[in-house]
Amino acid sequence: MNEEVVAVFIPIIAIIMSLSIPIVFAIVDYRRRRDIVEANHKERLAAIERGMELPALPESFYQSIKPARRSSYLLPGLVWLFVGIGIFIALDAIAGEDVRMLGLIPAGVGLALLIYHFVEGRKLPLAGQDKPPAA
């Protein structure tokens, strides 16, 4: 195969794969949840046929399966900060002093997220709760 053709196919395949991974995850997650609902439905039908009293569905059955977790700005802040520093250093080595300042943009975003985490982020409640946790 021609090297130019391979060079064109590499980014195309990378884009297709990166877009198909979330789609496959959504399909698999939907099928898993559908199977849980079907199993519960069959169990309830069997209980009705036997004349047993049906228990109420648990509250968690209607809620998302994902566990409640605290929204944190620490990890995204660190990632943005170090990506910005890396871009700053790389552009300084490659392009010089004028262009390296572009690396300060993601570093500034990361710094803002870190400041927010340390000022307000610790006070955020868990997802699904109305009040913040006791200190």
**Residue 121: is it exposed, middle or buried by C-beta count within 10 angstroms (0-12/13-18/19+)?**
middle
Overall residue count recorded for the chain in this entry: 135
User: Among 43-52, 70-79, 103-112, 122-131, which is the least confidently predicted range?
Assistant: 122-131
pLDDT 10s digits, 7-35: 888 889 989 988 899 899 999 988 988 88
Of the candidates 124, 126, 128, 125, the one whose C-alpha atom is nearest the C-alpha of residue 62 is: 128
Q: Indicate the SS3 state at residue 70.
A: strand
Q: Which residues pair with 70 in a beta bridge?
A: 126
What mean pLDDT, rounded, does the chain reach? 81
Question: Residue 44 pLDDT more than 60?
Answer: yes
Domain ranges of the chain: 1-65, 69-125
The single residue listed with the structure tokens 């010089």 is 96
Give per-residue pLDDT as tens, 85-120: 999 998 888 887 788 888 889 999 999 988 888 888
Closest by CA to 72, choosing from 28, 117, 27, is 117
What's the CA dihedral at 124, 78, 102, 96 to 10 degrees? 160
Judged against a pLDDT cut of 50, whether residue 135 lies above it is answered with: no
CA 122/CA 70 separation, integer angstroms: 9
